[in-house]
Amino acid sequence: MIDLDASILLTIVYVAVLYVFLSPFFFGPFTRILKERREAIEGSLDQAGRRIAEVEKKTAEYESAVREVRSEAYRQQETIRDAALEEKARLLADARQEADKIIKDARARLRAETADARKRLEAEIDTLAVRLSDSLLEDPQ
């Protein structure tokens, strides 16, 4: 068995008395400080949670706004592209009409020049035929 002598019992009594006297002066304030720290940490965690939620909300709003702006930009880009394609088609149609007109005018001019050349040649054929026949009929002597 364990021998309990008086010094061990006296030490236990001293520790108990010391605890009773130190509780209000040391352990009470120490416990209060720990409680205050715990409450401050919990408050900071709550505040951090609220800020995180606020940041996530603002991030979602920002992303939504960016999507809307991109969508509007794509719509405007599509409108501009459609207008450019219409302008291109109009310019091509105008160029084709102008080219057709130039070709038509050139063909008409060519026909007129051909007809004029035929008329001149027909008019000269008679004189050339007369000259040729005269030269053939002339006496080479």
3-state secondary structure the chain: CCCCCHHHHHHHHHHHHHHHHHHHHHHHHHHHHHHHHHHHHHHHHHHHHHHHHHHHHHHHHHHHHHHHHHHHHHHHHHHHHHHHHHHHHHHHHHHHHHHHHHHHHHHHHHHHHHHHHHHHHHHHHHHHHHHHHHHHHCCCC
Q: Write out the chain's pLDDT in tens, 141 residues.
A: 455 677 888 888 888 888 888 777 777 888 889 999 999 999 999 999 999 999 999 999 999 999 999 999 999 999 999 999 999 999 999 999 999 999 999 999 999 999 999 888 888 888 888 888 878 777 665
